Amino acid sequence: MLTAAEAAAHLGVKLGTLYAYVSRGWLKSYRRKVGRQALYRRTDIEALRGLTAPERGVRARALPEASSWVTIAQPTADASVSGVIVAESGVSSISEGRLAYRGYPIEELVGQASFEEVCLLLWNGERPRPEEVEHLRENIARARLPKPVAAALAAIGEDAPPLLRLALMMPALAAGEHRLPRRARLDQARLIIGALPLAMTLAPGAEAGAARDGGAGMAARLLERVAGASAPADRAALDRVLVACAEHELNASTFAARVVASTGADLYACVLAALCSLSGPIHGGACDRIEHMFGELAAGLEIERGLESFRERGLLPPGFGHAIYPAGDPRAVLLKRVAQATAPRKGRALYQTALKVERAVWERTRLKPNLDFYLTVCVRMLGLPQGMPAAIFAIGRAAGWIAHSLEQYANNRLIRPRMRYRGSPLRHWT
């Protein structure tokens, strides 16, 4: 064991820095049985030194030995949630069941801030000026498909799933810029956001070029392109959905984007990595399963029989429960209000079915709906076709993926985790 002065000297830092390591969870201190002096394990200090101290002018190794990981990672406050804190970020926070973007509670942003305002808030850290917001909206409204992107989308056909079309767009965008002067990263961000709705298959009668006068911005562009119309109330509803989807700390897709950003790859590669993570059923498949459930209910399956089928297979009903929100997902509460406000105009039957499912699940399992459930309900109520709830989630979350990538670039260190070896002991080939 080392005293604070000895530990600080070993690390080559001031005492204040040592105490900051403790407060951030990078280092654990111990108290004597007699007296109040803090002590530190020598092995912990050695592990932390491998993270912080340059050796002979060369960057130190990325992580300490696996046996000392626990002294570097900070356990989450809720012991029921698996995982550890592996990075610091100023993009969003989740504390005591409350979500905030850059310090602004999600309850204030949904309904008061537009998706374009949230994009710029996440990317730049502060509330944007009106002219910045208008510039981004016009960028989205006037965006057109570059030829390499149009050719790639044509090659896979109009029946390709929306998520696949979004993923295919990223390398095609990068290829289109291969021989052009390199754009600034914020310009890449605006290009990506403007191009995303263009990956969707055009509805009959929809415009392939710039958006019409029905309204500028992401919600208007998506509705005009996919549904062929853009009523003000529908635009407002979809805008709220996009804001609710925009960011959620370090989930699997965001972590994938940050890992790729840490290599120095461009934003197209970061967003592609995030989109690819959504192709797996565990992180990105919930909306599709919820759509399938509602399809079966519409075809005549009784709710109780459907829920019993999930129980028999050892599955939770899709769209219910969230490890980070044991008391309920605040985003689902907000989107339920959007669905309620939309029901008098359209989608009333689907909304009533959703209420019945929510009530039945609560009575059986005491689980509340999560974002995916009411995201799917809202998107389908607005008349968007099958597969679009997952795509809307991805388009909204692209704002957060870009924000995290930009943050990673700004203070970069290659993300290179270690693994504990559990295989055969050392042996010889000959």
| Residue 146 vs residue 393, higher pLDDT | 393
Least confident of 73-77, 170-174, 277-281: 73-77
Q: Do 153 and 11 reside in the same domain of the chain?
A: no
Average pLDDT over residues 65-70: 34
Please determine, for residue 371, whether its predicted confidence score (pLDDT) is greater than 90.
yes
Q: Do 99 and 175 reside in the same domain of the chain?
A: yes
Confidence class of residue 228 from pLDDT cuts 50, 70 and 90? confident
> Residue 151 maps to which CATH number?
1.10.580.10
324-340 pLDDT, tens digit per residue, is 898 999 999 999 999 99
Report if residue 132 sits inside a domain: yes
Least confident of 96-105, 107-116, 376-385, 416-425: 416-425
Catalytic-residue membership of 322: yes
Q: Which of 121, 117, 145, 149 is nearest to 217 (CA)?
A: 117
Q: Do 31 and 130 reside in the same domain of the chain?
A: no
Average pLDDT over residues 347-355: 97
- Domain stops at, among 43, 74, 105: 74
| Residue 134 vs residue 37, higher pLDDT | 134
**100 C-beta neighbours (distance < 10 Å), count:** 16
Average pLDDT over residues 193-218: 77
| Residue 341 vs residue 35, higher pLDDT | 341
Catalytic, out of 248, 266, 322, 404: 322
Report if residue 116 sits inside a domain: yes
Output the pLDDT for position 203.
Answer: 74
Output the pLDDT for position 4.
Answer: 87
Least confident of 69-78, 181-190, 418-427: 69-78
Catalytic, out of 44, 234, 329, 372: 372
Output the pLDDT for position 236.
Answer: 96
Average pLDDT over residues 372-399: 96
| Residue 183 vs residue 418, higher pLDDT | 183
> Residue 17 maps to which CATH number?
1.10.1660.10
Output the pLDDT for position 32.
Answer: 63
- Domain stops at, among 74, 101, 134: 74
- Domain stops at, among 47, 74, 101: 74
Domain of 62? 2-74
Q: Do 148 and 43 reside in the same domain of the chain?
A: no
Please determine, for residue 211, whether its predicted confidence score (pLDDT) is greater than 80.
no
Structural domain count of the chain? 2
Output the pLDDT for position 70.
Answer: 31
The rounded mean pLDDT for the chain is 87
Please determine, for residue 79, whether its predicted confidence score (pLDDT) is greater than 80.
no
Average pLDDT over residues 385-402: 96
Return the HEC string of the chain: CEEHHHHHHHHCCCHHHHHHHHHCCCCCCEECCCCCCEEECHHHHHHHHHHHCCECCECCCCCCCHHHHHHCCEECCCCCCCCEECCCCCCEEEECCEEEECCEEHHHHECCECHHHHHHHHHHCCCCCHHHHHHHHHHHHHCCCCHHHHHHHHHHCCCCCHHHHHHHHHHHHHHHCCCCCCCCHHHHHHHHHHHHHHHCCCCCCCCCCCCCCCCCCHHHHHHHHHHCCCCHHHHHHHHHHHHHHCCCCCCHHHHHHHHHHHCCCCHHHHHHHHHHHCCCHHHHCHHHHHHHHHHHHHCCCCHHHHHHHHHHCCCCCCCECCCCCCCCCHHHHHHHHHHHHHCCCCCHHHHHHHHHHHHHHHHHHCCCECHHHHHHHHHHHCCCCCCHHHHHHHHHHHHHHHHHHHHHHHCCCCCCCCCCCCCCCCCCCC
Average pLDDT over residues 29-38: 68
Report if residue 400 sits inside a domain: no
Q: Do 140 and 226 reside in the same domain of the chain?
A: yes
Average pLDDT over residues 286-306: 95
Q: Do 61 and 166 reside in the same domain of the chain?
A: no
Q: Do 37 and 160 reside in the same domain of the chain?
A: no
